[in-house]
Amino acid sequence: MTKTSYVDLTLSPEMKVRIAESAKKNGRSMTDEINALLESFLDGATLSPEMRAIAAELADQIAAARRK
């Protein structure tokens, strides 16, 4: 079993909707979608401009939460 870490993340209502729509389209939970987006972003994978924007915003929010 893969060990996971909990991250408290605050999203704008608009970002939550975008992630939920992306997750539904990809057949994933929101958590799995966030993980997939961040992995793709951090691995430098080619993402659509929309997915790159979502991943970048999530990465920024996680970094800000860790600094608190």
In a domain, 64, yes or no: yes
In a domain, 18, yes or no: no
In a domain, 54, yes or no: yes
Contact between 18 and 11 under an 8 Å Cβ cutoff? The reply is no
pLDDT at 16: 92
- For residue 21, pLDDT beyond 90: yes
DSSP state of 27: T
pLDDT at 45: 65
pLDDT at 39: 84
Please state the domain count of the chain: 1
| Torsion angle in degrees (nearest 10) through CA of 56, 41, 17, 21 | 160
Per-residue pLDDT of 22-68, as tens digits, reads 999 999 999 999 988 888 877 776 667 777 788 788 888 888 888 77
Structural domain harbouring 66: 31-68
In a domain, 2, yes or no: no
- For residue 1, pLDDT beyond 60: no
